[in-house]
Amino acid sequence: MAIFNGTDLGVYIGSTLIAAATDVSLTLNAETIDITTKDSAAFRELLPGLRSGSVSVSGLIDYVDASNKDFLDLYAAWEARTELTLKFSKATLGTGEASFQGNAFLTSLEQSGGTEDTASYSATFELTGVIDETVA
């Protein structure tokens, strides 16, 4: 078993890492269609339905680092309703390790800063279309 440090995971727009992330997550969902009938012996029966996914990222705001996507880049994508290509992956994949990629829209963007605390952001992307898995 090849367990790795979660610090190695990142969210990329194209091939560019989203800046100063402190937490990332990929959520995959599968809906079901109820096909229960009177012949189901009082047990629910289901068929597979639509599949979907979302990617979330949160981190520290860094308006100066132009080498990575930052809050201002995310805002521009949100404002323009841009469809983005996202990758959820380690920077370098080892043998047998997976990455996930798909197109997405930025559906939620927040920035905050408390007294005597770091300024931070969070963003949620809803995936659209096929979600591809690549195994190294």
**Residue 4 covered by a domain:** no
So what's the pLDDT on residue 81? 97
The pLDDT value given to residue 120: 93
Show the domain range for 42: 9-135
Among 110, 5, 135, smallest CA distance to 56 is for: 110
Tokens matching residue 73: 């880049």
Which CATH number do you get for residue 20?
2.30.110
pTM: 0.87
Q: Is residue 3 part of a domain?
A: no
67 part of a folded domain: yes
pLDDT beneath 70, residues of the chain: 1-2, 65-68
The whole-number pLDDT of residue 4 equals 77
Residue 77 lies in a domain: yes
Q: What is the pLDDT of residue 22?
A: 93
Instruction: Count how many domains the chain has.
Output: 1
Do the Cβ atoms of 52 and 29 come closer than 8 Å? yes
Classify residue 93 by its DSSP letter. P
Q: Could you tell me which of 1, 8, 9 has the C-alpha nearest to residue 25?
A: 9
Q: Is residue 55 part of a domain?
A: yes
Residue 12: the pLDDT is 93
pLDDT value of position 92: 82
